């Protein structure tokens, strides 16, 4: 039986140079006019996945 990659993972997760997983943050697509500049700035960069979640993502990216 072949291992299949989960489509949502390959679309949403990037691997950094050091091998960590990076996800985009939520709340930055629309309704930005009523958010403060600080809130939008905090949301600018991606989020490094916690150690407890890394195992789940590795299972869903068998070839990555």
3-state SS of the chain?
CCCCCCHHHHHHEEECCCCCEEECCCCCCCCCCCCCHHHHHHCCCCEECCHHHHHHHHHHCCCC
In a domain, 22, yes or no: yes
In a domain, 31, yes or no: no
- Asked if the model's pLDDT at residue 3 lies above 90, the reply is no
pLDDT in tens, 44-57: 898 999 999 999 99
pLDDT in tens, 11-61: 999 999 999 999 999 888 999 999 999 999 998 898 999 999 999 999 998
- Asked if the model's pLDDT at residue 1 lies above 80, the reply is no
In a domain, 41, yes or no: yes
CA–CA distance, 63 with 58 (Å, rounded to integer): 9
In a domain, 1, yes or no: no
Domain range for 52? 7-26+36-60
In a domain, 20, yes or no: yes
In a domain, 54, yes or no: yes
What's the structural domain count of the chain? 1
For position 64, what pLDDT does the model report? 64
Q: What pTM value is reported for the model?
A: 0.75
Q: Can you read off the two tokens belonging to residue 39?
A: 């809130």
């Amino acid at each position: 039986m072949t291992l299949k990659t989960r489509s949502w993972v390959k679309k949403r997760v990037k691997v950094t140079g050091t091998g960590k997983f990076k996800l985009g943050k939520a709340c930055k697509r629309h309704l930005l006019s009523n958010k403060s500049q600080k809130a939008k700035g905090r949301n600018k960069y991606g989020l490094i996945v916690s150690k407890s979640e890394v195992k789940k993502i590795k299972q869903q990216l068998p070839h990555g």
